[in-house]
Structure 1
Amino acid sequence: MKEFLLLFRNQVGEGSYSLSPEEMQSTMPKWQDWIGEVIQNGNFVSSQPLDYEGKIVKNKGITDGPYVEAKEILAGYLICKVATIEDAIEISKKCPILDYEFGSIEVRPITSLAIG
């Protein structure tokens, strides 16, 4: 089994997420059901939503981020453990972020590096 990172992306609103807190709350049962299914199937490793606020650290300093000019924002992630990327894609197809007009999921394998 391999671990895969599912990155949830959504469109930026006016200085915040495009969904209001009320809209986010109303969709919570769908998220709970979806994550519950991933857990029940034995594929769940971890998951968290991400706050809109943040900082960007570069070799030339630290700036506020994400940038207002960006059209997409990382909204959260889920790490799952499955055999193939195709299995991770199948899990992602049921994610409630896809119910949002501009929601998308980036599926990336997590590579274990031997250090030392």
Structure 2
Amino acid sequence: MNEFLLIFRRDFKSPEAQPSPAKMQNMMTDWQNWLGGIAAQDKLVDTGNRLADEGAVIKANNEVINGPYADIKEGIGGYSIIRAGSLAEAVELAKGCPVTLIGGNVEVRQLVPPNL
């Protein structure tokens, strides 16, 4: 089995893309059910965390800018790590992610262990 990083993105800036508080509350149940289903298959490695809105980006020559990427409206809201036999299987597991119900998306990337 390989490990895959699921990166959750959505529009955090456009007022029309923001779910209502009631919708957000209902989505919490959707997230718990989705992650619970992956965990029940023993494929959940780490539930991950939500990410704060503020951050910084360090560029070449130690240039620090406010980030992440304030000039774009879509941002990373959080992540999880799952276990799957292939990229195709990881994609199938990611298809149930509730972020897609509010116009967001999930990026699936295989984690590659370091060659130490």
Please classify the TM superposition score into its range, dividing by the shorter chain length: 0.7 to 0.9
Structure with the higher strand share, 1 or 2: 1
DSSP 3-state at the match of 2:3: strand
How big is each residue's C-alpha offset from its partner over 1:8-62, in whole Å with a ceiling of 9 and x where there is no partner? 11012169x9345554333111001111111111000112111111111112321
| TM superposition outliers: structure 1 runs of 4+ over 2 Å | 17-26
Unaligned runs of 5+ in 1: none
Determine the structure 2 residue equivalent to 1:29: 29
TM-score (norm: length of structure 2): 0.86
Q: Give TM-score scaled by structure 1 length.
A: 0.86
> Contact 2:14/2:73 (CA < 8 Å) preserved in 1?
no
User: 1:29-108 to 2 correspondence within 5 Å?
Assistant: 29-46=29-46, 47-60=48-61, 61-101=63-103, 103-108=104-109
Q: Name the CA distance, whole Å, in 2 between partners of 1:99 and 1:111.
A: 30
The structure in which a higher percent of residues are helix is 2
Contact 2:6 2:109 in 1 (8 A): yes
Structure 1 stretch displaced more, 55-64 or 27-36: 55-64
- Identify if the C-alpha distance between structure 1 residues 21 and 56 changes in structure 2 by more than 3 Å, giving closer, same or farther: farther
Percentage of identical aligned residues: 34
- State the aligned residue count: 113
